[in-house]
């Protein structure tokens, strides 16, 4: 997270970074239940919920 608790907008990412975030955001719901997975995302300063990660990646909500 950036200062103030806000995520940067995904268009601040370069193309490979944006693609990686989209792949992570599009993983199945079962992956998002793994605490290790969400802890890693948090350590990388990425949204640690699927809904927030999908929004960050510019994807429609899952479902």
pLDDT of residue 13: 81
pLDDT of residue 2: 42
Residues 10, 18 contacting (CB under 8 angstroms): yes
Helix, strand or coil for residue 4?
A: helix
DSSP state of 29: T
Cα separations (Å) of 43 from 1, 27, 37, 61, 62?
A: 9, 18, 10, 23, 23
Confidence (pTM): 0.75
pLDDT of residue 49: 92
One digit per residue, the tens of pLDDT, for the chain of length 63 reads: 444 444 445 667 888 988 999 999 999 989 999 999 999 999 998 999 999 999 888 888 887
pLDDT of residue 10: 61
């Amino acid at each position: 997270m950036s200062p103030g608790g806000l995520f940067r907008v995904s268009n601040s990412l370069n193309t490979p970074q944006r693609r990686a975030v989209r792949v992570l955001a599009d993983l199945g719901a079962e992956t998002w239940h793994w605490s290790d997975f969400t802890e890693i995302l948090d350590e990388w300063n990425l949204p640690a919920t699927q809904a927030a990660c999908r929004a960050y990646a510019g994807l429609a909500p899952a479902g």
